[in-house]
Structure 1
């Protein structure tokens, strides 16, 4: 009798183990090319291909469950609604406290994307038509018009030959006189004859020296400042420009830790678009992701700086204490050093890795 009970227990346990083993894993994934993205109705990418190879080697059945954001995906794993999360998941100290991670599958890190600014005369022309330059020209025109109005009021009765006619003609003549006097051209075709007009002319000559100097400085400042602000060479330049980051990612966390304000975007696609149309000056995100997206878009007006702002490792994420970790690590350690896997990386990243 005891033997029968023991046999029955063994059979039940075996059946239960088979049932558990047959239950498919829920694998969380989100769009993050080239690591994970949908193409022709199926998921593809570096992380997806690696997971397929790992699952095959470990004998796992699974189903992919897409999520809209990285925080949402990691929360699903942490709360047990998903068994594994794959994609461009960087390992950080904060995430390590909440989750377990596999062996690193890829090493890269955070980079800075910025626009390729035009150089030479094209850049100079663009800067000359900036609002600061145009506002300085407008202010100068108003000063010339004011001086022209004053000289017309002083000269119109006693000097009608040079400043007479209608109000429009007289003020126009005064504007011309104030302009040629300021620039020291002094054609001599118009000159005040009244005491008040000559006193104004004398004062205006001295004031013109200051005005011309200030105007020249304003132009130089406008052009130089615009040129400097268009050049982003590294992390030290970020505090003085408008920066974008994807909310809830390691890029936004890094910027917050640096005390650098940023504009949050829901995903890299929208953030890159904002960069390319000039809404922001820089984007901090995963360097390989940004390089891949710019290459796929054929973008020529943006680039990713070669130097990383922080090196990071990418891995699969699981809940703390997950029994899957050991099996996943064993399979990954067998796959990652192979030439076959190197060929997969080359196919997605080329010489950029």
Structure 2
């Protein structure tokens, strides 16, 4: 006789309390969510990093479709330490780089990107990868081909140099003029026709000035006055020699230096730079007539075509240009100013920032950073 089996399947399930069923469902959901998160993290750690950059030699150089340069080699070394592949996104200027990072089209951006307080409010930056600043580029080589001799001579006539020499000459004239007046006015046939101070002193000053510039048209009669005259003629020779040397030196400096020699000379000039760079804010502050260009090559071409008087841009880029493509057509004037640091830019809160900083410190400790720097900029 067969015993009936207890009906445990549906009845037992029906007998389970609701909280037990909910707990089992929650565990299943948690396991599924954990699997998805783990899978997503694994995918994120192996996915290619989208790196935005721009062509700005020597930071980023493009040749035959291949990118190189200081920033590219530095990032490739960082990527190797992170064990991540890189997909580069080339954009025209800094504004586009920041927009790409902010909109999520790029995971980070690297080129000549200056770290500023305004950008720090919207993005995260890595440790500085280089310290640099702005510099000025003008047309011409070591000798200013744009110099106008007549214009430079006219400027010299109203310059501070001429005023200084005229002041020195006036002081020198007053001394022998008074000596001559005091001695010659008592001589019956002296060159001073009157004993009165005025106009007698003017006669003496005219004689002293003429003797200083050329030679005496009259010789004094008194023996003491003749001694003064001889000494004064010798002084005149020395004075004219020094003045001629100073005049020659001033004209030479004017031709070599040109009208723009530093930041103080940018006021009122037409100055070019790239769109969105830190130079734009500086040029607005100094009241220069600023013209913005999208690409660096367009900026250099505008200078050579005389569309702008000067270029203000990142010092490493200008130095590289003057030693390569612009070696015979442009030159740098003045020192580096408006010092700033370059960094790698990330979206706010990006976990890559900490990883990249650790990799960057590792490259410095192992002198890999120094090797890359010296390859593109030489030894410091």
CA distance 1:119–1:62, change in 2 (3 Å) = closer
Q: Measure how far apart 1:337 and its partner are.
A: 4.3
Q: Structure 2: which 5+ residue stretches go unaligned?
A: 1-22, 155-250
Q: 1:312 aligns with which of 340, 356, 371?
A: 340
Matches within 5 A, 1:72-221: 72-116=96-140, 119=143, 126-128=148-150
* Contact 2:127 2:357 survives alignment (8 Å): yes
* Contact 2:141 2:331 survives alignment (8 Å): no
Q: 2:362 aligns with which of 320, 334, 337?
A: 334
Q: Measure how far apart 1:347 and its partner are.
A: 1.5
Which residue of structure 2 aligns with residue 289 of structure 1?
317
CA distance 1:338–1:112, change in 2 (3 Å) = farther
Farther-moved stretch of structure 1 (305-314 vs 81-90): 305-314
Q: Which has the larger radius of gyration?
A: 2
* Contact 1:29 1:85 survives alignment (8 Å): yes
Q: 1:231 aligns with which of 252, 259, 273?
A: 259
Q: 2:307 aligns with which of 279, 288, 291?
A: 279
TM-score (norm 2): 0.61
Task: Give the whole-Å Cα distance in 1 for the aligned partners of 2:132 and 2:257.
Answer: 27
CA distance 1:248–1:123, change in 2 (3 Å) = closer
What is the aligned-residue RMSD (CA, Å)? Answer: 3.0
Which residue of structure 2 aligns with residue 242 of structure 1?
270
Which residue of structure 2 aligns with residue 46 of structure 1?
70
What per-residue deviation string (whole Å, max 9, x for no partner) do you get for residues 7-46 of structure 1? 6665444323212222222111111111112123221111
Q: Measure how far apart 1:313 and its partner are.
A: 0.4
Q: Measure how far apart 1:119 and its partner are.
A: 5.0
Q: Structure 1: which 5+ residue stretches go unaligned?
A: 133-222
Farther-moved stretch of structure 1 (6-15 vs 252-261): 6-15
Task: Give the whole-Å Cα distance in 1 for the aligned partners of 2:129 and 2:72.
Answer: 12
**Residue 22 of structure 1 pairs with residue 46 of structure 2:** yes
Aligned residues: 258
Q: 1:70 aligns with which of 85, 91, 94?
A: 94
Which residue of structure 1 aligns with residue 228 of structure 2?
none
